[in-house]
Structure 1
Amino acid sequence: MDFKYSSEGYNSEQSYKEFKSAAVVCNNEVTCTVGKNILTEGGSVVDAAIASMLTLGVVSFQSAGLGGGFYMIYYNAETMEDYFVDAKAQASHAVDGDFYTGNEYAMTYGRSSICVPGELKGYWEAHKKFGKLPWSRIFEPAIELAENGFKITAGCETWIRVTVPKLKENKRLRSLVTRADGSFKKAGDIIVRPEYAKTLRHIVKHGADEFYNGSMTNDILKDIHDGFGFPSSISHDDFAQYKVRIEESVKMTLNDDHTLITSGAPSGGPVLAYILNILNGYHFTEEDWKKNRVLTYHRIVEAIKFAFYKRTHIEDPYFSDEVDELVNQMTCEKHAEEIKRKIDDCRTYSSEHYGEKMAQVPNDPGTAHVGVIGPDGSAVAITSTINHPFGSNVVGERTGIIFNDQINGFFFLEKSEDSLTYSKNQIGPGRRALSSTCPTIILNNSSTAATVKMILGGAGSARIINSTALTIMYHLWFGMNINESVKSRRIHHIWDPNTLEIEKGMDEETIQGLKNLGHKIEMVSGYLSTVQAISRIPGNKIAAKCDCRKGGYPDGY
């Protein structure tokens, strides 16, 4: 579906700024300023990222909040160590996959679509390990906005208009976003979230354990089970047993000059790394972009198709010994060279050329990203999601939490007389679904010490992976500055269906050239995801770019 957000009152020139010491990017200027303020008070980049994301969970409630989960990449410049924090929502231990087969409503809307949220536990563990400022200070901006009110963004208005009218049962959500005259609220209207503010205050006082194994757990469970739709299998034990995973990041070298650090399985990080690993062998330069643009795009598309086929084999690594081996293969230079040799410069092929028929992976379009670089050179990239916009559409009467619909992120096996579609990403007790999000940090390789070159991530379902990859290529390989890299037209392919999506505005010569190579093209009038990016540029300055497709102004100092 194509979306065009209103740009009224938005100054796109302010979406790019340069700073001397630190910067924060996301799709909302208020949350960028929150993160900047935390850094000026001596907070760590993790403190700033959590404060920004908590605030984003209030104002961009269609995409993030305590009812969801996140992936975080953290790089400590002093120790030169990196961490991958997996705090994504998790299926209950009593979940029954057969119940959801053929029941799109149950997996997408209402209490049956909800997984155990990991967002708060992830913040708690990350702050304990990497934070500096008091827990209470991190929450202050989010509480103030939830209590006193905030303006609806153009993006939120669009999702209200597109999503909320689909259901009659989502009464509490409708109440939150409806004016006194019965019409839906629009950009600039004020929303207050008093129940959510109380929840945040309670967490400040009692900590995350109160959310996962305390009296608040009972309120959360009541909110879930009082919701509409089919019953939920989530129990108190599911909350009490939820654990944050702090794992090794996925890492690989980019053309000897840079090191990519991204999130591991079951995120989109391994797929991002695989695309870049295949294309590494071409040793792209600015000349390839200027003189051989059609061929360059063709090679990129072909690499994407191989990568998205491989994506269908990824699942929660805690439930399969094969996933680590698969990810190692995807980051292996020798294997990437073998795949590169399968790319034909003269034509594209049908989906079967890239791999046997597999079930496609569900999308996770309700996402929000924050990037932070601090004065010490440390950095965070964090992407949060409640899956679809407004998640399950269930809003807690007691807590004000908008709960995820992460069940929809799994694949449900269906058999027919003439085919058997299959995916590794199947639901099961305690599992975490495959995701497209891929928060990423890129380092400059040096004989003395590595420094952060880029921080980026995005929102927009499976398109996140390709948009992030293109932004990296535009900037590091094709000579564009970070402003141009984020603004440039994007392409998208997911292997099957065999259709290449292109943002309107790309030059006709390139489009026709791709058609001549056999690509079936669909022009997209809206945008292909959004990317938030930071880059260290000559003069030891920091360039920060918020994607003007969606809005937001970076902040820093």
Structure 2
Amino acid sequence: MRVNYTYLGLVSLFCLLFLGIATAQGDREVGLNFASRSEVIGENGMVATSVPLATQIGLDVLKNGGNAIDAAIAANAATGLMEPTGNGIGGDLFALIWHEDSQEVYALNASGRSPINLSYNQLMKELKKINQNSIPPDHLLSVSVPGTVDGWFELHQRFGKTSMKKLLSPAIDYAKNGFPVTEAIAAAWSRSVPFLKNQPGAFTETFSIDGRGPEKGEIFKNPDLGNTLQLIANQGRDAFYKGEIAEKIDQWMKENKGYLTSTDLANHQSEWVDPISTNYRGYQVYQVGGNAQGTAVLQMLNILENYPLMEMGFGTSATLHAFIETKKLVYEDRAKHYADPDFHQIPMEVLLSKQYAKERGELITNQAMNDQSSGVDVLEDGDTIFLTTADKDGNMVALIQSNFRGMGTGFVVPGTGFSFQNRGELFSTDPNHPNVYAPGKRPFHTIIPGLVTKDGKGIFTYGNMGGAYQPIGHVSILTNIIDFGMNIQEAGDAPRWNHSGSSQPTDKLHKKTNSKGKVYVESNIPYQTVRELKNKGHRVEVGNSFFGRYQGIMKDLNKNVYFGASESRVDGQAAGF
């Protein structure tokens, strides 16, 4: 049979035109080809979380008269139940809030401190017993005070409208009656259980079904967590830090030779801090500094502002090279200077100065750097979830919360329903390091929320959780929007990159990176770009890395609507009304 290809081509073209699809559009009717879907649009409110059921809980709060702060607390309580692979009340919290009435940005550091009765010398003795030079993530030495519950109550006391009983009620109901586990969370859960099931405490009874993680779609219950949340709802934050829950924790720690005590819990207090910021091409970008790595986002933006990124083009080897080399420089400062400001005078004025950024940027050539160090003299004296909410009044919240490594330590006090974080792993053991372990000190933190204002108005809350990747993710999202003109869903769907091999805040103080490290790119980065990066001296691998998880909400001040976006690579959802 002879086929008339010219005729078939004309028919195909006619069909395309008849359907109203321009051939230049590629795989989508509108927008960029790599976009997974359109933005979500709502006039009265928006919620974006990593768990669809948690998004719906937050949305219900808004529909019932609650504000963005209320919705964030309710959604976070739900994610702690439904995504224990990333967060929970055994972990810490940071938040940035755009408060419409005051026209101000507020920052909350709700991270916990190390045990008061564990000295540095005692820590080193304990590490020597187990033949370790650093704090292991699966040991009781890595447990610090969980700050999340106090963080909720600080947020609520200052800005909340709806009662805490109502805000915690949905998570309590789901804990007692069960919820279907989503796909990506089920996979991470199943990977975690074999590593943690032999930990002292009630991990297996609390977080497994017949000794395994729940499957996708399987109904899971955590009645112990439901009871814990009910106590908190009825008695307030003191139930956790001074009451029945604190007593259970104290007793269990004593029985298992842990160092966290009821005194540590009773002494805990979150801190409202001044947010740090920089102006990037007319947009004011806010972060939480101190013992969090948000400073790195601003440092990277300050260097990249000197590049004509729009002309260089998205995803080109020239742009990626500038990003990678900038990251290398900034992460050396991150490794040497970011620490609890109560114990260390951070040279923030220098780190965030445009002049310092210009000087550091001049070190970048057209070849990959093999030798980096911090540009500031060290002052020697001195797996996560992100969610965002917005309400009809213009308030916006960026909230990030974590156990640190997935399900944390796996230490579950019987009857409580939650695992302790292992955030203490991120202390350095070098006595000269700003981030060295000390009693009552907050460790270095990777979790960072992001917020942007324009002309003095809050317009964008976002986060891209994922350990050390997070500053890279924040910078990528912002440049995708500001420099490359993407909408906020496209900005999250765009092909991503990562880089490993920089110095860490847990390293020796004077360690100097003498390696190019390794660049990882997602598989939809063209191989021609990969080849060009290799020609610049980079070691490049396609895939085999973690590229973060993203949520974002943008306020369109002209149309007076919100645009919402969520991570297309996993289970998240943005929803508005």
TM category (shorter chain) comes to: 0.7 to 0.9
Paired residue secondary structure (1:391): coil
1:347 paired with 2:367, answer: yes
2:478 maps to: 472
Q: How far did 1:527 drift? A: 4.2
CA distance in 1 between partners of 2:110 and 2:236 (Å)? 16
Q: How far did 1:272 drift? A: 0.8
CA distance in 1 between partners of 2:75 and 2:154 (Å)? 17
Q: How far did 1:103 drift? A: 2.9
1:409 maps to: 426
Report 1:424-503 matches (<5 A).
424-445=434-455, 450-494=456-500, 495-496=502-503, 498-503=517-522
Paired residue secondary structure (1:352): coil
1:430 partner letter: G
Structure 1 residues 551, 391: closer, same or farther in 2, change over 3 A?
Answer: same
Q: How far did 1:501 drift? A: 1.8
1:172 partner letter: A
Q: Is the 8 A contact 2:344 2:434 kept in 1?
A: no
Deviations 1:63-97 (A, max 9, x none): 11111111111111221111110111221112233
CA distance in 2 between partners of 1:432 and 1:403 (Å)? 15
Paired residue secondary structure (1:89): coil
Q: Is the 8 A contact 2:112 2:268 kept in 1?
A: no
Structure 1 residues 184, 381: closer, same or farther in 2, change over 3 A?
Answer: closer
Paired residue secondary structure (2:573): coil
Unaligned stretches of 5+ in structure 2? Answer: 1-34, 504-514
Q: How far did 1:110 drift? A: 4.4
2:269 partner letter: K
Q: How far did 1:177 drift? A: 4.0
1:417 maps to: none
Q: How far did 1:453 drift? A: 2.3
Identity %: 22
1:273 maps to: 298
Q: How far did 1:262 drift? A: 1.1
CA distance in 2 between partners of 1:493 and 1:165 (Å)? 29
Q: How far did 1:279 drift? A: 0.8
Q: How far did 1:321 drift? A: 4.4
1:232 maps to: 258
TM-score (norm 2): 0.85
CA distance in 1 between partners of 2:468 and 2:421 (Å)? 18
Choose from 78, 94, 97 the match for 2:101.
78
Deviations 1:355-404 (A, max 9, x none): 6999xxxxxxx211111122122211010011111111012212112111
Paired residue secondary structure (2:202): helix
1:173 maps to: 203
Q: How far did 1:169 drift? A: 1.9
Q: Is the 8 A contact 1:223 1:398 kept in 2?
A: no
1:242 maps to: 268
1:507 maps to: 526
Q: How far did 1:472 drift? A: 0.7
Deviations 1:493-543 (A, max 9, x none): 243552112122211121111111111112224641111112234634322
Deviations 1:453-475 (A, max 9, x none): 22111221111110111011101
Q: How far did 1:196 drift? A: 0.9
Structure 1 residues 41, 221: closer, same or farther in 2, change over 3 A?
Answer: same
CA distance in 2 between partners of 1:183 and 1:245 (Å)? 39
Rg larger in structure:
2
2:15 maps to: none
- Between 311-320 and 270-279, report the one with greater CA deviation: 311-320
2:548 maps to: 529
Q: Is the 8 A contact 1:313 1:423 kept in 2?
A: yes
2:549 partner letter: T
CA distance in 1 between partners of 2:251 and 2:295 (Å)? 37
Q: How far did 1:451 drift? A: 2.2
CA distance in 1 between partners of 2:388 and 2:485 (Å)? 22
Q: How far did 1:547 drift? A: 0.5
Choose from 123, 131, 137 the match for 2:166.
137
Choose from 63, 76, 101 the match for 1:40.
63
Paired residue secondary structure (1:251): strand
2:358 maps to: 337
Q: Is the 8 A contact 1:491 1:528 kept in 2?
A: yes
CA distance in 2 between partners of 1:167 and 1:372 (Å)? 33
TM-score (norm 1): 0.88
Q: Is the 8 A contact 2:336 2:374 kept in 1?
A: no
Q: How far did 1:157 drift? A: 2.1
CA distance in 2 between partners of 1:518 and 1:455 (Å)? 36
Q: How far did 1:44 drift? A: 2.1
2:149 maps to: 120
1:394 paired with 2:417, answer: no
1:258 paired with 2:258, answer: no
Unaligned stretches of 5+ in structure 1? Answer: 1-11, 359-365, 415-421
Deviations 1:321-359 (A, max 9, x none): 421xx2222221121111122221x2121033666999x
Structure 1 residues 546, 349: closer, same or farther in 2, change over 3 A?
Answer: same
Paired residue secondary structure (2:403): strand
Q: Is the 8 A contact 2:48 2:573 kept in 1?
A: yes
2:542 partner letter: M
CA distance in 2 between partners of 1:431 and 1:464 (Å)? 23
Q: How far did 1:13 drift? A: 5.2
Q: How far did 1:167 drift? A: 4.5
CA distance in 2 between partners of 1:161 and 1:404 (Å)? 18
Deviations 1:90-148 (A, max 9, x none): 21112233123653896311433211111111111111111111121111111111111
Structure 1 residues 15, 59: closer, same or farther in 2, change over 3 A?
Answer: farther
Report 1:151-162 matches (<5 A).
151-162=180-191
Q: How far did 1:314 drift? A: 2.7
1:507 partner letter: P
CA distance in 1 between partners of 2:348 and 2:214 (Å)? 45
2:425 partner letter: N
1:147 paired with 2:176, answer: yes
Structure 1 residues 384, 488: closer, same or farther in 2, change over 3 A?
Answer: same
- Between 53-62 and 110-119, report the one with greater CA deviation: 110-119
Q: Is the 8 A contact 2:134 2:425 kept in 1?
A: no
Structure 1 residues 179, 118: closer, same or farther in 2, change over 3 A?
Answer: closer
1:100 partner letter: L
Paired residue secondary structure (1:108): coil
Deviations 1:428-469 (A, max 9, x none): 111111122220111112xxxx22222111221111110111
Number of residue equivalences:
518
1:550 paired with 2:570, answer: yes
